[in-house]
């Protein structure tokens, strides 16, 4: 009796000691994580229930769900939500399919060739959104841009198009640029996933007479499913957050045709100084992303 | 791969050609930035594009460097802005006056390197503990980290401004560094790498009487070195390019990052493309060089971060 009590005592002491030393190791990281991620996150939800407008009285006024109610009556918010959804719906599948195709062509090439291709497709990500945005702005320019020049020389266009200033094209242009900066990471991931596919499985299937299509869909596709899932989630999150390109290239215009939720959050907070309203949009955006990620997980699990 | 001779199918030839064309298209914007920086104004504004600069000039860089000036560095007393009348911090020392663009580069390097070092230290400690220790609250903490990672980073930035103002860190480089360090991806990545440490080695160290800190520095750190390398380069590139955070946190000319500086330049001179490309070159080339040098670690980091625990 006494002995066993002694043992549990000792193991409890051990657990306490372990816990204490573990938290000492976690402490530096926790300070930053709690201080600059968790607290703002809580504050974001909290302020979304207030009328918190800078320049008015310093005090925030509690208004319950009014900010949320106003969102659904705000035509600009609805427009920006629509644009965001268009961006997500177009870019997520194209990014996935394109990067899988590129990866499947290059993954069994020789080392240096492979890493050259990998680098090139990753370059737009590394270059940074500002440098990318300014060069595309030039390329899309009405008078000096190469898009109009090339379009006219090969006969697709008969007169200059003001790509970013035209409601019909602006969002498409943004999606194109976003596409070039989004495929880098998925390609790297797919290359490594395809490289990790067990060759004995592939050989066994070949011996059994499977053709290329069967080989891909029956053997490789299920094995790279976790990667596909991850890519779906990160591309969705990235597309939802499309901001820098909008702010630098079109500022949401012309006529709100390129407003995205992220840009409208920025606009409400830093141009209209309506923090509470902006935060309620942030909460809605977070919920959207969370739900979509969960649905993607669920669908992928079922398959 | 291992079969000696391969049959080359028409599909393969076709897809290789297509791939090479696409690769050229992907590299083109970067080529256009760098060559644009060295073109004459006439070549920039020509309606027929100058595919390769016929005349290389430094005019654009000269204009860029003569626009605004700033001290190379300024070391202030922390939190001193609380105690001065005008709310400006008290400055210890300031460097020689240089073009503002150079100062922006210095700022950017400082904040990325600082964020990198802090992230590597804190994340490797936390990742090790989360992977190898059993303690109360571990599951809760880990799920909190995973949830926070899935949320869009930008939604927390507005409350973050108020927090930074309250801490009087607004418009300082620390306002960029701290949130970057707090972002939990690093902890997650280091946990993935730490899973690979054999438990027997840690046990052996414990039996030998090594302290926790010694075990960490002498056994854990050497074993997760590739992870630290990956995290370092990852943090570096992310911090360098985190435009939104820089945009809302930094405002005065002396405090800008290079990306933000170029964005402001563009807003002020939207049609002088030569000047803007010179700025773009300054912003993009250093980070691309860093990426090319360390790309092995980088690829590894991206891949490890994706393997869900």
Residue ranges of domains in chain B, CATH in brackets:
10-306 (1.10.3720.10)
CA distances from B216 to A1, B76, B131, B219 (A): 38, 35, 13, 6
Residue A294 counted as domain residue: yes
Q: Say which residue, A48 or B83, is predicted with more confidence.
A: A48
Contact A226 B308 (CB under 8 A): yes
Write down the pLDDT at residue A56: 55
Q: Say which residue, B198 or B46, is predicted with more confidence.
A: B198
Q: DSSP string of B81-140?
A: GGTSSSSPPPEEEE--EEEHHHHHHHHHHHHHHHHHHHHHHHHHHHHHHHHH---TTHHH
Query: pLDDT band at residue B308, thresholds of 50, 70 and 90?
Result: very low
Write down the pLDDT at residue A230: 85
Rounded to the nearest angstrom, the minimum Cα separation between A168 and chain B is 22
Q: What is the mean pLDDT of residues B20-28?
A: 93
Question: CA angle, corner B70, sides to B64 and B76, nearest 5?
Answer: 150
Number of domains in chain A: 2
**Distance (Å, rounded) from C-alpha B169 to C-alpha B160?**
10
For A21, which of B16, B212, B279 is closest by C-beta distance? B212
Write down the pLDDT at residue B4: 45
- For residues A145 and A42, membership in a common domain is answered with no
Residues B31-58 pLDDT 10s: 999 998 998 888 888 777 878 888 888 8
CA B179 to chain centre: 13
Residue A252 counted as domain residue: yes
Query: pLDDT band at residue B307, thresholds of 50, 70 and 90?
Result: low
Q: Say which residue, B95 or A244, is predicted with more confidence.
A: A244
Residue A261 counted as domain residue: yes
Residue A120 counted as domain residue: yes
Residues A75-87 pLDDT 10s: 999 999 999 999 9
Write down the pLDDT at residue B6: 55
The encoded tokens of residue A153 equal 């020389």
Q: Does B52 touch chain A (CB under 8 A)?
A: no
Sole residue written with tokens 């909190």: B144
- For residues A279 and A152, membership in a common domain is answered with yes
Q: Does A52 touch chain B (CB under 8 A)?
A: no
Residue A268 counted as domain residue: yes
For residues A104 and A219, the answer to whether their CB atoms sit within 8 Å is no
- For residues A205 and A266, membership in a common domain is answered with yes
Q: What is the mean pLDDT of residues B284-306?
A: 84
**What would the 3-class secondary structure string for A6-69 be?**
HHHHHHHHHHHHHHHHHHHHHHHHHHHHHHHHHHHHHHHHHHCCEECECCCCCCCEECCCHHHH
Write down the pLDDT at residue A155: 80
Residues B120-178 pLDDT 10s: 999 999 999 999 888 888 889 988 888 888 777 777 888 898 888 888 888 889 999 99
Could you list the residue range(s) of the whole structural domain that residue A34 is in?
A: 2-47
- Does residue A152 register a pLDDT over 90? no
Residues A90-112 pLDDT 10s: 999 999 999 999 998 888 888 88
Sole residue written with tokens 């980290």: B145
Contact A189 B262 (CB under 8 A): no
Contact B32 A139 (CB under 8 A): yes
Mean residue pLDDT across chain A: 86
- For residues A213 and A283, membership in a common domain is answered with yes
- For residues A135 and A34, membership in a common domain is answered with no
- For residues A24 and A78, membership in a common domain is answered with no
CATH code of A263's domain? 1.10.3720.10
Rounded to the nearest angstrom, the minimum Cα separation between A209 and chain B is 17
Q: What is the mean pLDDT of residues A240-247?
A: 88
Q: In chain B, which residue's Cα lies nearest the Cα of A124?
A: B26
Helices B138-150 & A2-33, crossing angle to 10 degrees? Answer: 20
Residue A291 counted as domain residue: yes
- For residues A171 and A26, membership in a common domain is answered with no
Residue A56 counted as domain residue: no
- For residues A109 and A241, membership in a common domain is answered with yes
- For residues A128 and A269, membership in a common domain is answered with yes
Q: Across the strands, what pairs with B71? A: B97
- For residues A131 and A248, membership in a common domain is answered with yes
Contact B288 A241 (CB under 8 A): no
Dihedral sign for Cα A129, B30, B281, B113, please: positive
Residues B177-187 pLDDT 10s: 999 999 988 99
Query: pLDDT band at residue B7, thresholds of 50, 70 and 90?
Result: low
Query: pLDDT band at residue A1, thresholds of 50, 70 and 90?
Result: very low
- For residues A188 and A279, membership in a common domain is answered with yes
**Distance (Å, rounded) from C-alpha A235 to C-alpha A61?**
37
For A40, which of B19, B44, B160 is closest by C-beta distance? B160
- For residues A93 and A182, membership in a common domain is answered with yes
Q: Say which residue, A299 or B116, is predicted with more confidence.
A: B116
Cβ contacts of A189 on chain B, cutoff 8 Å: 302-303, 306
Query: pLDDT band at residue A57, thresholds of 50, 70 and 90?
Result: low
Q: In chain B, which residue's Cα lies nearest the Cα of A116?
A: B23
Write down the pLDDT at residue A4: 54
Query: What is the predicted ipTM?
Result: 0.86
ω before B103 within 30° of 0 (cis)? no
Q: Does A291 touch chain B (CB under 8 A)?
A: no
Interface with chain B: mutation pick from A131, A148, A200, A292, highest number of B CBs within 10 Å: A131
Residue A55 counted as domain residue: no
CA distances from A26 to A21, A33, B180 (A): 9, 10, 17
Which among A12, A175, A160 is positioned nearest to A83, based on CA atoms? A175
Write down the pLDDT at residue B233: 87
Q: Which residues of chain B form beta strands (DSSP E)?
A: 69-71, 74-76, 91-94, 97-99
Q: Which residues of chain A form beta strands (DSSP E)?
A: 50-51, 61-62
Rounded to the nearest angstrom, the minimum Cα separation between A88 and chain B is 14
């Amino acid at each position: 009796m006494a002995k066993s009590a002694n043992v549990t005592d000792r193991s409890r002491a051990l657990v306490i000691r372990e816990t204490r030393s573990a938290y000492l190791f976690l402490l530096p990281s926790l300070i930053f994580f709690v201080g600059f991620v968790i607290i703002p996150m809580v504050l974001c939800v909290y302020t979304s229930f207030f009328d918190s407008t800078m320049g008015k009285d310093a005090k925030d006024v509690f208004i319950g769900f009014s900010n949320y109610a106003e969102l659904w009556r705000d035509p600009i918010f609805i427009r920006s939500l629509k644009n965001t959804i268009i961006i997500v719906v177009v870019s997520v599948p194209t990014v996935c399919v394109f990067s899988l195709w590129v990866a499947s062509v290059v993954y069994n090439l020789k080392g240096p060739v492979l890493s050259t291709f990998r680098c090139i497709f990753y370059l737009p990500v590394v270059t940074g959104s500002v440098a990318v945005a300014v060069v595309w702005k030039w390329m899309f320019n009405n008078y000096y841009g190469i898009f109009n020049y090339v379009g006219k020389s090969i006969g697709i266009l008969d007169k200059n198009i003001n790509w970013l200033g035209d409601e019909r094209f602006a969002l498409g242009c943004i999606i194109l640029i976003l596409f070039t900066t989004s495929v880098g990471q998925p390609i790297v991931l797919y290359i490594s996933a395809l490289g990790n596919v067990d060759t004995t499985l592939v050989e066994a299937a070949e011996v059994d007479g499977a053709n290329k299509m069967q080989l891909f869909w029956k053997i490789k596709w299920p094995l790279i499913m976790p990667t596909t899932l991850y890519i779906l989630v990160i591309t969705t999150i990235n597309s939802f957050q499309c901001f820098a390109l909008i702010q630098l290239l079109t500022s949401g215009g012309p006529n709100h045709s390129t407003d995205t939720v992220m840009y409208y959050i920025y606009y409400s907070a830093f141009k209209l100084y309506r923090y509470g309203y902006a935060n309620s949009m942030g909460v809605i955006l977070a919920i959207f992303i969370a739900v979509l990620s969960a649905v993607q997980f669920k669908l992928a699990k079922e398959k | 791969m291992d079969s000696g001779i391969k049959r080359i199918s028409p599909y393969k030839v076709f897809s290789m050609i297509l791939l090479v064309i696409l690769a050229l298209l992907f590299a083109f914007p970067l080529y256009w930035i760098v060559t644009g920086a060295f073109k004459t104004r006439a070549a920039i504004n020509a309606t027929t594009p100058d595919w390769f600069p016929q005349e290389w000039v430094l005019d654009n860089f000269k204009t860029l460097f003569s626009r605004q000036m700033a001290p190379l560095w300024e070391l202030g007393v922390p939190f001193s802005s609380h105690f001065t009348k005008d709310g400006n911090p008290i400055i210890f020392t300031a460097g020689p006056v240089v073009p503002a663009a150079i100062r922006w580069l210095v700022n950017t390097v400082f904040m990325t390197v600082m964020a990198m070092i802090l992230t590597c230290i804190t994340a490797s400690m936390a990742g090790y503990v989360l992977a190898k220790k059993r303690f109360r609250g571990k599951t809760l903490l880990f799920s909190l980290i995973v949830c926070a990672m899935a949320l869009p980073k930008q939604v927390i930035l507005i409350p973050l401004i108020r927090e930074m103002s309250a801490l009087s860190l607004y418009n300082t480089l620390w306002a960029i560094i701290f949130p970057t360090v707090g972002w939990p991806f690093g902890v997650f990545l280091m946990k993935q790498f730490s899973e690979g440490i054999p438990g027997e080695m840690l046990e052996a160290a414990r039996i030998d009487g090594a302290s926790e800190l010694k075990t960490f520095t002498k056994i854990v750190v050497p074993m997760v070195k590739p992870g630290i390398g990956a995290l370092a380069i990852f943090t570096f590139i992310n911090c360098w390019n985190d435009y939104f955070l820089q945009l809302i946190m930094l405002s005065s000319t002396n405090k800008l990052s290079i990306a933000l500086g170029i964005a402001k330049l563009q807003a002020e001179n939207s049609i002088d493309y030569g000047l803007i490309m010179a700025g773009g070159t300054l912003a993009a080339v250093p980070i691309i060089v860093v990426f090319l040098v360390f790309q092995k670690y980088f690829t590894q980091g991206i891949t490890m971060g994706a393997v869900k625990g």
